[in-house]
Chains A and B, each alone.
Chain A
């Protein structure tokens, strides 16, 4: 027994002496040390910091594996979960953090070194330090940063600090001036952080915005007057997120010198610990608060501090960490300065139950104070209970889930500091809809079920998001038909309560009680049966629908070559959902093209037993931040690298990227490289290089926001120099999703839109010549590119102010370039229907099953141009003298017979078929040979004609355009919720600095209906037989192992110190 006593004594001593887990920082040597999770990007060689409660990884120097430009960013953050990885595989963690890095206004650190500054072995904090010089992560705005930033080369460091026992990372960023002269910022600009959250983490900004930062910025914040001294933005004390099992919050440390927001009337609600959020786009979140010093003296430095808290999935869990956070520093005078003080708070808690009394787990409870501000969010656990920390005040709560109507507590409940109060909520009981879908043969088929309802609204100017659902409390969006509401016409007030998939013909879904119209659909080759049902609480309603394959397309398959899944940081669509979404939309063939990640969906198709319906190949969307997005397929999956073959794009010329993409291919010479959404703001390749729509090559920029073309230090041209523009791609995504605005040049509408007046005059008769102006309705709004060449008079090139890709493509055809036009959905989730649009390709699948499909035939046809993009109409036949798309017809007499057969499902409208001819002699666009009107009908066959055209010149091409006017609701929903893109934010910030929009109200409307449209790839017409050249395509090997060489010079001062063994 003595031994037992001794053991217990030893145990007690040990317990007394050890209480807090230490912090530790290290360079990752094995994958078993990584964090893991859906957004995990870290790899061996990166730097990890952990304290047993949270752990995080900072990427080593190099280029970003996320969306940013440089390495050295914070890329993985999670709670320590105790899961285990292997040397070959990371643990099953739950990292949902994409990337964060300090931003000195619009400049980042271009790191030259990442190191373990303190490993924590002394029992103190562990520190990872990133150091380097300034780097422009968006070279588009280099002109702006060149004006603002000091001319001196400053030193930047960012310390990621983790103290033992803390559930947050402390991040201290320091700017120092190593030079002997004053460094001055020409304008008062803020410092802070740029965060790329990605999908799966819903942003919640306490205050007016709640979960709806997107429309809060657009509807409220961006409409406030901005000034040079005060960027527009939301003022808040933290931003937080809500996610699956992990959540994050960023709060700031006070600064003895004050913050950027201090004393500015534009920010009346600002407090000493407030931050400004000027940007919160789909994947780009800017948080600024630090006030850049107007002058940084020689050897001087300036620091600012942030705290990144990690929670367990809801906002409440991270808010508690922030509220408990107290941090101090010792100032040079020896006095303590409180960076952050604890926030007094109490607890609000309660339960959420169904009206039946059953507890509801997983329900989001949003807390609103008596001033109407959204202050917190908690998620109920399995027994329906929740709790949230709130600062003293009076509150009400909203219970929100994906099925039931929002439940709101009526009475305000008061919470005092350190006290608790309770709010219990009851939600209605849903009913269940059970659907079985069979085809005309009785076989159960994959189908999409759309549940339509009608809302009440007598104010046509109010969008449904203002009354149908509440985005601020995080309610789910219900897509509407985007028709202007009329009180007496329910057809104008339709919305989708729910869409869900029946992957094998049967599915059920819980629904709010009510009356609905249930549609079954399977893409554009099937009809659209429906049935009206009433859903009763607690009851199951059965529906059986028969889908008829009304339009069979033997010899053709439909494909989508731009598809995203959870493997992309801006998508949270699981692979199973992703694959099913294609099966139910009737798309036969798809290529995975996740952002900077080579994914393979084939194992999922196998597991779901959908091989008869869907076929997939491996692909990649190489995603640069500002130079364009490029797809390549079919590729080989590389199991080893974290991104499975994707490679760095930063500061590489596009031609090199194209050649490297081919290097990833199964057969490099047959790999298809596709330029995506070429006119999508800064994400479009043709925009980035100022491609002249009617010129067919880069032209001088028409905007001050341009890629950085400064020569490299060794004198070689910038990779972004126009001379590096490359046409070495095979296909171009002319038709992207629901984005007609980037397919067609913007024309002045007949009815002037609402908005600010343009600052440029109306055009004189004849259009713009040497001055920009607003043309007549129906005309293309043009910019003028000024060309100044030595010895030549200044000339101007007209360029559409908002160019569309189809005219770019026509110009490429005019130049004789055989670039295949494709139409792809670019679908990132359920909001963007899979296969809308899709590309039909000439390929035989035999009996219709995708198992028998020859992939080689698919890609040969695609490369040849035997393909057409469509979102509805089927172009069954388009032949010139008996030859189809992609072929070259020899018509020595210039006479051609064109056969056209156009069909459409009964629910798709076709109004006209246009035959166009282009060629070397064409003007800005191909001429219209014919417009064939199509009568109103629901017959499948809409056009079946053979036309003869004479006088077709040598080197011509013929294309067909098919369009309708009526939308395709409810199968294809409108583009109702355009993302707030980075370009919007850049525009707003640019506006603050005087880069106003000269076109005022004249700009494309992003929100738009989806009307039927299809067009063909060309049939070429020559007068004589010509030998076609088949040049060998450039292929470059891909290597990420090549060491990254920072563009900055080495720090010679430290080298000097090293020689003298001076203590650091």
Chain B
């Protein structure tokens, strides 16, 4: 029971949650390395850059021999590219698997069939994620996750389509020191606190409209304001400092989103984020990026220059955790016939978790203006959820009501109620 509580507390911490009331804020800290093999309760990719989510160390080997340096089993010096170890632990024991699943019934109003929005509700596998992590040596981590139920909508009819296996994370990381960690591959760029939570660690059924956008059947499509996974290179730090902490992350990405086959152009997307915190109770994050997108079918390519910026403030204690954030994006086009436009959004969420009962509740308000050029397209999203985490089982049951208030051309009676099982392993 105690070990399960530890697991849950780690999970909550990774999910941007808070310590229990019994645990004073001053004692909140990143999960300690233990002598016992531990695993993340939710498969947050290790070392995600986000103050609200104490950086969980990658699973550690426990029987490592510090005197053994880079020697393989045969005792020979390793060659470049070989699996190198400094531990006597066999390599297969340095691989850990994790994952999560979110499945349930999802209904959007009105209860009518054959409607693009507000129809075709029912059972759905929202996610089924498998992750694997490998630590060939102490400071190097390789991580990959695949989504086994990724949606592949029919381009002509988003209500049709199938679910496919799709790559999510795929990266390699080398930790030179706590102030200089290098990661390369596909992963979330260091931008916007809500987005930096693992898919399995978000308290709600889905992220806010700023992070996830909207899509049928819940609503007419609206693109997200935040950045999704990208392929690139990121240099970042762990928390530096004492009472006042500091972290940074500087990355260069392709700017095309996840699983892009090739780059849309030769322009990389620089992304930067800094966080300062006070005893990790309150964390302020500032981030921004610059990107040039090329859209359209060759040769009719239009170039869009995007500048994204945002700030988020996270605080937690006594079972409560809160997050407020602002995001903005300015876009300009290389064709004079299209006027520059701006997008912006704000969100705030508050969550409470009662550890003794395993009950939790959360509410979120998000407001999103997708385009200053387009009239009547603002979205107000209000979500409320209650969940119960049975202590003995690694899952929670969640009920969420979401109200979407949309203007003009996207207005539609599309509030939704979702009942979801969220399992983690």
Contacts and interface: CB of A to CB of B under 8 A. Distances in A.
A88 B117 contact: no
Contacts of B412: 21-22, 52
A26 B376 contact: yes
A31 to B, nearest CB: 7
Contacts of A44: 337-338
B333 A3 contact: no
B296 A639 contact: yes
B81 interface: no
Interface string B347-377: 0000000000000010000000001011110
Contacts of B417: 7-8, 11
Contacts, number: 150
B409 interface: yes
A18, A639, A644, most chain B CB atoms within 10 A? A639
A88 B302 contact: yes
Contacts of B295: 86, 88-89
A640 B408 contact: no
A92 B375 CA distance: 22
Interface residues of B, number: 58
Interface string A80-99: 11111011110010100000
A644 B400 CA distance: 47
Interface stretch (B8-16, B107-115, B316-324): B107-115
Contacts of A22: 411-412
A179 to B, nearest CB: 38
B109 A86 contact: no
A10 B157 contact: no
A82 B337 contact: no
A640 B334 contact: yes
Interface in A30-74: 30-33, 43-44, 48, 50, 52-53
A82 B117 contact: yes
Nearest to A644: B300
A358 B106 CA distance: 37
Contacts of A15: 109-111
A1052 interface: no
B92 interface: no
B115 A52 contact: yes
Contact of A637 (B156, B300, B304, B384): B300
A641 interface: yes
Interface in A634-655: 637-641, 644
B75 interface: no
B159 interface: yes
Interface stretch (B59-67, B139-147, B215-223): B215-223
B209 to A, nearest CB: 14
A88 B338 contact: yes
Contacts of A52: 115-117, 220, 412
Contacts of B221: 82-84
B413 interface: yes
Contacts of B297: 603
A600 B299 contact: yes
A316 to B, nearest CB: 16
Contacts of A10: 401
Interface string A1-24: 001100110110011011101101
Contact of B401 (A7, A48, A86, A94): A7
Contacts of A17: 413
Contact of B302 (A7, A50, A640): A640
Contact of A639 (B110, B158, B220, B300): B300
A245 interface: yes
Interface in B286-325: 293, 295-304
A594 to B, nearest CB: 13
Interface in B366-398: 371, 373-376, 384, 386
B166 interface: no
Contact of A88 (B222, B296, B336): B296
A908 B272 CA distance: 70
Given A15-B110, A82-B216, A639 B299 contact: yes
A48 B374 CA distance: 12
B319 to A, nearest CB: 17
A639 B337 contact: no
B219 to A, nearest CB: 9
B304 A88 contact: yes
A640 B302 CA distance: 6
Interface in B127-164: 155-159
B169 interface: no
B262 interface: no
B331 interface: yes
A637 B216 CA distance: 35
B45 interface: no
B415 A14 contact: yes
Interface residues of A, number: 51
B373 A29 contact: yes
A350 B412 CA distance: 37
Nearest to A312: B157
Contacts of A434: none
A286 B159 CA distance: 36
A467 B297 CA distance: 44
Nearest to A21: B412
Given A24-B409, A26-B408, A82 B157 contact: yes
A10 B299 CA distance: 51
A641 B112 CA distance: 40
Contacts of A119: 408
B341 interface: yes
A602 interface: yes
Contacts of A31: 338
Contacts of A295: none
Nearest to A84: B221
A18 B338 contact: no
A121 interface: yes
Contacts of A11: 107, 109, 401, 415, 417
B223 A86 contact: yes
B226 interface: no
Nearest to B157: A81
Given A7-B384, A26-B375, A29-B371, A19 B116 contact: no
A87 B330 CA distance: 12
B409 A81 contact: no
Contact of B333 (A33, A43, A87): A87
B315 to A, nearest CB: 24
Contacts of A81: 116, 156-158
A30 B302 contact: no
B399 interface: yes
A51 to B, nearest CB: 10
A637 B300 CA distance: 7
Interface string B95-126: 00000000000010111100111100000000
A18 B361 contact: no
A245 B115 CA distance: 17
Contacts of B304: 86-88
Contacts of B386: 3-4, 7
B408 A33 contact: no
Contacts of B375: 26-27, 29
B300, B302, B371, B409, most chain A CB atoms within 10 A? B409
Interface of A: 3-4, 7-8, 10-11, 14-15, 17-19, 21-22, 24, 26-27, 29-33, 43-44, 48, 50, 52-53, 80-84, 86-89, 92, 94, 119, 121, 245, 600, 602-603, 637-641, 644, 1041
22 contacts: A4-B386, A7-B384, A7-B399, A18-B110, A21-B115, A21-B413, A24-B408, A26-B375, A26-B408, A26-B409, A29-B375, A32-B223, A32-B371, A52-B412, A53-B116, A82-B158, A82-B216, A87-B338, A88-B335, A88-B338, A603-B297, A603-B299
6 interchain residue pairs of minimum CB distance: A640-B335, A18-B413, A84-B221, A11-B417, A82-B216, A82-B158
Given A52-B220, A88-B303, 13 more contacts: A3-B399, A7-B399, A11-B109, A14-B109, A14-B403, A14-B415, A18-B413, A24-B411, A30-B341, A50-B409, A82-B116, A92-B156, A603-B299
